[in-house]
Amino acid sequence: MSSTEPTEAPIESGGVGARVRRREDERHLHGKGRFVADYTFPDLQEVAFLRSPLAHARIEHIGKPERFPGQVIVREDMHTATDIVADSSLPTYKPSAHPPLASGKVRFVGEPVAMCFASSRAEAEDIAEEVELDLHELPAFASAFAARERTDVRVHDHWTDNLFLDLKADVNFDERAKDAPVVVKQKVDLARQCMVPMEGKAVLAYWDHTQAQLVVITSTQVPHMIRTVLSQCLGIDHAQVRVISPDVGGAFGYKCVLQQEELCIAWLALTYKRPFRFIEDRREHLIAGANTRQHHYELTAYADKNGRLLALDCDLLIDGGAYSAWPFTIGLETGQALGNLPGPYDFSGYRCHTQCAATNKPGFLPYRGVARTGVCFAIELTMDAIARAVGREAWEVRYDNLVRGADMPYTNVVKKHYDSGDFQESLKRAAAQLDVAKWRRRQKEGEPDGRLIGIGFATFTEQSAHGTAVFASWGLPVVPGYDLATVRITADGGLEVRAGIHSHGQGMETTLAQIANEVLGVSIQKIKVVHGDTALTPFSTGTYASRSIVMAGGAVAATCRELVPRLIKIGAHILGETEDAVRFEAGEVVGATGRVSLADIGHAWYLRPERLPKDVDLTGLEATHGFKPKVDTGAFSYATHAAAVAIDTRTGHVEILEYVIVEDCGRMINPMVVEGQTIGGTAQGIGTAFYEETLYDENAQPLTSTLADYMLPGPTELPPLTIIHMETLSPYTEFGAKGVGEGGAIAPPAALFNAVNDALSPLGALVSETPLTPRRLLAAIEAAKAAAREKAEAAAEPVHEVIR
Amino acid sequence: MKAAAFDYVRAATLPQALSELGASAGGVKPIAGSQSMGPMLNLRLARPSKVIDVSRVDELRSVTVSGDLIRVGAAITHAEIEDGKYELLRNDFMQYVASGIAYRAIRNRGTIGGSLAHADPAADWPLALATLDARIELAKASGTRRVRASEFMLGAFTTLLEEGEIISAVLLPKMGLTLRWGYYKLCRKTGEFAHASAAAAFDAQTGLARVMLGALDGPPAALEALAQSIAQHGPSAATPEAIAAGVANAMPNADAIDRSMHEATVERCLAQAFGSSGH
C-alpha cells in the first residue's frame, strides 16, 4: 500500500517493478525542458488566427487589409492543402470535411477563418484585427438535443440530418428484462469541458534545404501519424516530411489527432520556405478547444429483488461538436461508450441506443478516459440507484454484480474480453480500507458542524492498449498494429533505445529504460531513450489509449531479447568457450573461465573486430523488433475508487474527507509512475466531478473563455489519496503489464457523486449532473424539499425509483 | 492574446504620474501590479495609448500615520500586508483579508489600490475596507480628496475616479483591541473570486458597527438594521430571521439559493466576530 506521502525512497536504477526516480524530472524541475515555444529561428514568423465570432454563419466575404499584402491567408489561398477528412466504416457514420481554414461556413465560435503572420504574435494579432469578416448568421445548435430534432438547419449542409452516428445494440434485452421485479430509472449528464494541458497546441514548421524536407516541430502524442497525414493533406512524399515532437506540456488526448493549425503551419512553411510558428493561448484553448466529455444518458436497469442486474437499457446522446477528428473520428467516443457501458458487471441483457449529434461547438476529441468517464458515471450511479431501490448497501450490491475473479478470462455481454483480474477483490479491499462501518457510525452520530457525511464507490475497467482487432473493426484511417523499438549497444556498453511512441508525463524515458535494464542488465544511467522524432525512431502510431507501456515496452523487451544470442556468440568467442557453455546474466556473458561485459563486446564489435568470431552475426549490436499482444483486444486494467465526503447543506460545498484507490494494472514497471499517473488522472476526474464546465448561451457563444470562468482543481482541491496496488498479470503482454494512463480520470465523478448522494439520502435529494457546483447541490436539496412537500400533500409515487 | 502596442512610462514621483495622466486624457491608464490591467491589455479589452506604471512611486509605497488614521500607499501589495511587512498593518483583520486574496502569485504583485480601482464586485478590498469605514485618498494634478470606502464603488467596475485621477492611498482607522471582526467568503476553490461574501466589524469604543455583503451585482451592501441591532443588543440579535431579512433587502433580485448562500456567509462571519475563538 502506498499513499500520496512517499513511502519508499526512489532509487536511481533498476529493472521491472523498481521505484526508479523519473529521469525526465531533472530537466523539467530545473526549467530546462524544451518546448515548441522555446525554439528560436532567424526570420521566424508568428501566426495569429482570425477566429469566428459566431457559432454558425455563412461566410459572405473576407476582406484582407491593404496595408499587409501577403500576410493574410484564407482557405482559398491554400490550393495545395486538402480538407481533413476522417472516415470510418462504422455503420451510419457520416464524415465531416474539416477545412484547415473555414470555407463557405463557420461552424463554431473560435473556428479559424484566416491566418495572419508577422515577426511577433502581437503584430500578427494587429493584422488579424484589420481583416474584415462579413458573416451571415445562421441558427446555431448549442444543444445536441436540439440538433438531433432538426433537419431543416444542418451543421453540414450535405447531410440529411445532424447525426454523425446512430448505433444500436440489443443483446437478449427483452428476454432478460421482462420478468425483472425491480426497475430503476436513472438520468445522468456530463458537461462539456476542455482538457487544459499546461501547454496548448504548439507547432513550428520550416523547410530544411539540406534535406529537402519539411520539418514540423509540434506538440503531439503521435509524431509518426502526423507525418503520415501531413504528407497526405499536402500531397508530398512521406520522405519529405519529418515530424519532431519535443517536450510536450501535457496532452491528454488533445494532441493525438491532427490539429487544423498543424496543417496550416506546415502549409505555410512548405509554401513560403520560411519558419512559421503558432502557439495556442489559454483563451483560444478554452473557446476553440472545448471538446470533450459531454454525454447525456437515460438508463433503465432491470434487477432482481437483491439488486442483481438482469438487463440494462440505455439511451445515450453525445454532443459531437462540429467536426470529426482525424484519425480516430467521433466514432471512437460513440463506439467506446456503447461497448464499455456494461463495465465490470456480469449481466446478459443489454440494449443501447447511442447517437452522436453535430452541434456548433468545437469537435469532440478523445480525452483521458475516452467515453469511459461517462459510462462509468452512468452505470455506477445506476448501481447505487438499484441499491437504494432494494434497500441494501451500495457496495454490496456492486460486489454481487461484478464479474468474479474465478470467471476470468471473461467475455461480457458486448463481447469485451476481460483478460484477467479480480474486480470483487479490488472493491472489497477498497471497502475495508475506507472502513464502511466507521463511516456509517459517524453518519448516525452526526457531525458537530451539521455537515452531512456520505460514502461512495465506483469500480471500472480500463481497456488499455487495444489494438488492431478493435480499431480495424471501426475502419479508421490508421489502425495500430505492431509497435517497434530499435535497441543499439554502444561501443562502451551503453544502450540507445528508440521508440516511436511519445512520452509527455508518462515517464517512459525511465520505464522503457527499466525494461531494457531488466533484459540486458545495463544500468539505466547508461541507457538513452530516444522518442518523438520520425527521423530517429521506428514507426509507431504513438501514445494514446494507455497503450505505450504495453506496446513500446513490449517491443523494447523483445528487441533486447533478440540481441542476447548475438552477445552470447561474441562473448563465448572472447572467452574461448562454446556458446553452450556460457550464459547471459545481468549484463555479462558468464562462462567457466570468466565474464565478458557488454562494454567488452561493444568495444570488440565497433573498434576491434579482429576479436570477433569469423562467423559473427553481421546484423551487429542493434536490432529493431516489433511487439503485439497475443490477444490485442485490450489488456483490461481496473480499479475501485472509494470516497468519503462531507456536505455543507447551507453553502453547497463538498469536502473530500478520504479517497481510496485500489488499482490493478498487472505488472507495474515502476510503481511510482503508476501512482503518478493515478494521482494526475484523479485530479482531472475531480475536475470533471466538481469544477470543469464550458458554458454556452443559446446561440452557442462560449461563456467560459478565461480561467476566471473555467474552473480547474488546484492542489488544495485534491485530497490525500490512498493507493493500493494489486498485480494480476495479463496473460497476453510482456511481463503481464497493462496500461494505466487513463484510469485515474475515469472513476472520480462516479465515486464522488455516489458519496454525495449517500450523504444527501436523509434529505431525499439526488444529484446526477457534472460538475457538481454549489448551486446544483443546493438546487437538488431545494427540489427534494419541494418534492417532499408535494408528496406529503398527494402521497405520490417516488419519482426516481420504481419497484414493480 | 497579446496587447496592442502602447507607450510605457515608469513614473518616479506622484506629481510626474499625475501630470502624465492629465496630459493625454482618455488614452492613458495607470498600472501598478498589473493583475487586472494586464489581462485586460492582453485581451485587448483595454487599449490605452500609454500606460503609466506607478508601482515604484515612493508616495504610493509607504505606510505612515496620518492623524488618527493609518495611511496605506495605494501600491502596497497584498503580499506585503499578508506578510506583516509594515508594523502599522500588523493586525489580524488586514492580514487575514490579504492572505485570502486569489493566489500567492497574484498577491505578490497585486496592490490594494489597484484592486479598489478595478472594482470587481467579488473582490476582497472593496468589501473589507467599506466594512472598516476606511477612507480612500484620490489624487489628481489639481489636488487630492478623500472619500468613504463605502461610497467609492458605484457599480461593477465603476468608481468615483475621475479622468486623470488615481487612488493614492487608503486611510484606515487604527484598529484596537476592542475591535471584533469577521470575514467570510464562499469560493468554489482556493483563490477563486467569491460567489458570496460578508464582513462585519464592531468596535464599542469608536462606535463602528457594520455588517456588509459582498459579491453582489454592484458594490457591497450594508445590512444596517442588523448591525445596529447587534450593536445594541449583542450578537444574539443576529437571528436567522434578522439575517434573512437583511440579505433579502440587500439583494432583492437574488433567488433563494443565492440568498441562502449569503445568509450562511453572514452567519459565519458573525460567528467569527463573536465566537469563542473570536478576536
Nearest to B186 among A125, A651, A714 (CB): A651
CA angle (A346, A311, A688) in 5-degree steps: 75
Indicate the pLDDT class of residue B141, thresholds 50, 70 and 90: very high
Cβ separation A716–B195 shorter than 8 A: no
Question: The CATH number of the domain where B27 resides is what?
Answer: 3.30.43.10
Indicate the pLDDT class of residue A800, thresholds 50, 70 and 90: low
Secondary structure string (H, E, C) spanning A182-237: EEEEEEEECCCECCCCCCCCEEEEEEECCCCEEEEEECCCCHHHHHHHHHHHHCCC
Q: Which domain holds residue B233?
A: 183-274
Summarised one tens digit per residue, pLDDT across range A558-604 is 999 999 999 999 999 999 999 999 999 999 999 999 999 999 999 99
Give me the mean pLDDT over the A243-257 stretch: 97
Summarised one tens digit per residue, pLDDT across range B26-79 is 689 999 999 999 999 999 999 999 999 999 999 999 999 999 999 999 999 999
Question: The CATH number of the domain where B88 resides is what?
Answer: 3.30.465.10
Indicate the pLDDT class of residue A5, thresholds 50, 70 and 90: low
In this model, does residue B24 exceed pLDDT 80?
no
Nearest to A778 among B193, B257, B265 (CB): B257
Indicate the pLDDT class of residue A797, thresholds 50, 70 and 90: low
- Exposure pattern of A94-133 as b/e (b: 16+ CB <10 Å)? bbbebbbbbeebbbbbbbbbbbbbbeebbbbbbbbeebeb
Contact list, B195 vs chain A (CB under 8 Å):
774
Q: Is residue B77 part of a domain?
A: yes
In this model, does residue A799 exceed pLDDT 90?
no
Q: Are residues B43 and B95 in the same domain?
A: no
Q: Which pLDDT does position A249 carry in this prediction? A: 97
Give me the mean pLDDT over the A644-648 stretch: 98
In this model, does residue A466 exceed pLDDT 50?
yes
- Exposure pattern of B216-236 as b/e (b: 16+ CB <10 Å)? beebbbbbeebbebbbeeeee
Q: Are residues B203 and B145 in the same domain?
A: no
Q: Are residues B46 and B64 in the same domain?
A: no
Contact list, B2 vs chain A (CB under 8 Å):
120-122, 125
Single residue among B136, B155, B173 that ends a domain in this structure: B173
Cβ separation B261–A651 shorter than 8 A: yes
Q: Which pLDDT does position A181 carry in this prediction? A: 98
Task: Measure the CA dihedral A636/A639/A640/A645, to 10°.
Answer: -130
Q: Are residues B24 and B67 in the same domain?
A: no
Q: Are residues B187 and B207 in the same domain?
A: yes
Single residue among B118, B148, B173 that ends a domain in this structure: B173
Q: Are residues B211 and B126 in the same domain?
A: no
| pTM for the full predicted model | 0.96
In this model, does residue A1 exceed pLDDT 80?
no
Indicate the pLDDT class of residue B174, thresholds 50, 70 and 90: confident
Q: Are residues B65 and B132 in the same domain?
A: yes
Q: Can you list the domains of chain A with their CATH numbers?
A: 196-288 (3.30.365.10), 331-468+631-803 (3.30.365.10), 482-627 (3.30.365.10)
Q: Give the span between the Cα atoms of A300 and A791, in whole angstroms.
A: 23
Q: Are residues B165 and B84 in the same domain?
A: yes
In this model, does residue A736 exceed pLDDT 50?
yes
A288 close to A326: Cβ distance less than 8 angstroms: no
Cα–Cα nearest to A156, from A334, A329, A359 = A359
Q: Which pLDDT does position B278 carry in this prediction? A: 37
Contact list, A126 vs chain B (CB under 8 Å):
4-5
Indicate the pLDDT class of residue A7, thresholds 50, 70 and 90: low
CA angle (A200, A203, A205) in 5-degree steps: 175
Cα–Cα nearest to A365, from A153, A679, A108 = A108
Q: Which pLDDT does position A217 carry in this prediction? A: 98
Summarised one tens digit per residue, pLDDT across range A384-422 is 999 999 999 999 999 999 999 999 999 999 999 998 999
Give me the mean pLDDT over the A145-158 stretch: 97
Nearest to A713 among B189, B257, B260 (CB): B189
Q: Which pLDDT does position A32 carry in this prediction? A: 97
Least confident segment among A6-15, A453-462, B47-56: A6-15
Q: Are residues B158 and B249 in the same domain?
A: no
On the CB side of B84, CA atoms within 13 Å amount to 6
Q: Are residues B222 and B260 in the same domain?
A: yes
Summarised one tens digit per residue, pLDDT across range A263-283 is 999 999 999 999 999 999 999
Summarised one tens digit per residue, pLDDT across range A104-122 is 999 999 999 999 999 999 9
In this model, does residue A8 exceed pLDDT 80?
no
ipTM for this prediction: 0.95
Cβ separation B190–A714 shorter than 8 A: yes
Least confident segment among A666-670, A687-691, A743-747, B90-94: B90-94
Indicate the pLDDT class of residue A802, thresholds 50, 70 and 90: very low
Least confident segment among A294-298, A703-707, B21-25, B198-202: B21-25
Single residue among B121, B154, B173 that ends a domain in this structure: B173
Q: Which pLDDT does position B177 carry in this prediction? A: 82
In this model, does residue A476 exceed pLDDT 90?
no
Q: Output A3 or A345, whichever has higher pLDDT.
A: A345
Cα–Cα nearest to B210, from B237, B182, B176 = B182
A495 close to A522: Cβ distance less than 8 angstroms: yes
Structural domain count, chain B: 3
> A777 vs chain B: nearest CA distance in angstroms?
10
Q: Give the span between the Cα atoms of A433 and A430, in whole angstroms.
A: 5
Q: Is residue B207 part of a domain?
A: yes
Question: The CATH number of the domain where B242 resides is what?
Answer: 3.30.390.50
Q: Could you tell me the end-to-end alpha-carbon distance of chain B, in angstroms, rounded to an integer?
A: 45
Give me the mean pLDDT over the B83-88 stretch: 94
**Shortest CA distance from A282: residue in chain B:** B1
Q: Give the span between the Cα atoms of B155 and B217, in whole angstroms.
A: 8
Q: Which pLDDT does position A779 carry in this prediction? A: 97
In this model, does residue A695 exceed pLDDT 50?
yes
- One-letter amino acid at A416 equals K
- A contact test, residue of B36, B41, B45, B189 with most A CBs within 10 A: B189
Q: Which pLDDT does position A6 carry in this prediction? A: 52
Give me the mean pLDDT over the A161-175 stretch: 97
Q: Are residues B90 and B167 in the same domain?
A: yes
Q: Are residues B207 and B162 in the same domain?
A: no
> B50 vs chain A: nearest CA distance in angstroms?
16
Q: Is residue B240 part of a domain?
A: yes
Q: Is residue B156 part of a domain?
A: yes
Size of interface A-B (CB pairs under 8 A): 61
